[in-house]
Amino acid sequence: MTHLPVLNERVLPTLNQDGSRLRIRPQLFRGATYKQRFWVAWGLMVLFVALPFVRVKGKPAILLDIVDRQFVFFGATFLATDGVVLMLLLLSIFVAIILITALVGRAWCGWGCPQTVYMEFLFRPIER
């Protein structure tokens, strides 16, 4: 039986001296805007769940039908033959996302990003 050497200094911040894992958990900070963030998050969750059921001009608000090659954006239907229009639309959405991220990226990540909203307020509910 071989014995593992015990190190005097710490190798990684997430390891204990005996090699077991040291779990790091984020701590909740209930600042002045927590209540507003809570209600914004729940409103966004309702929007994220309801958006596929919203209809504009009898069609879904957003539908990407790959099989039939139809793309519906807020009532307007684009076919696969509308490649230039779709390219310009998607390019403008891409550029808008980059610009908005550059301007208010931290606000988006903390308040509106679906990953943050679901992780912080649905899957990891805070102890009250």
Q: 45 is written with which tokens?
A: 């969750």
Residue type at position 122: L
pLDDT score at 67: 92
Judge whether 40 lies within some domain. yes
Q: In this model, does residue 14 exceed pLDDT 50?
A: yes
Number of domains in the chain: 1
Judge whether 4 lies within some domain. no
Judge whether 114 lies within some domain. yes
Per-residue pLDDT band at 46 (split at 50, 70, 90): very high
Judge whether 116 lies within some domain. yes
Judge whether 81 lies within some domain. yes
Q: Cα-flanking dihedrals φ and ψ of residue 70, to 5°?
A: -125, 135
Quick one: which of 91, 95, 64, 60 has its CA closest to 80? 64
Q: Looking at the chain, which runs of residues are DSSP E strands?
A: 55-56, 59-60, 62-65, 70-73, 76-79
Q: In this model, does residue 128 exceed pLDDT 50?
A: no
Domain range enclosing 60? 34-123
Mean pLDDT of 46-59: 87
Mean pLDDT of 103-123: 83
What is the Cα–Cα distance from 121 to 46, expressed in whole angstroms? 12
Average pLDDT for the chain: 82
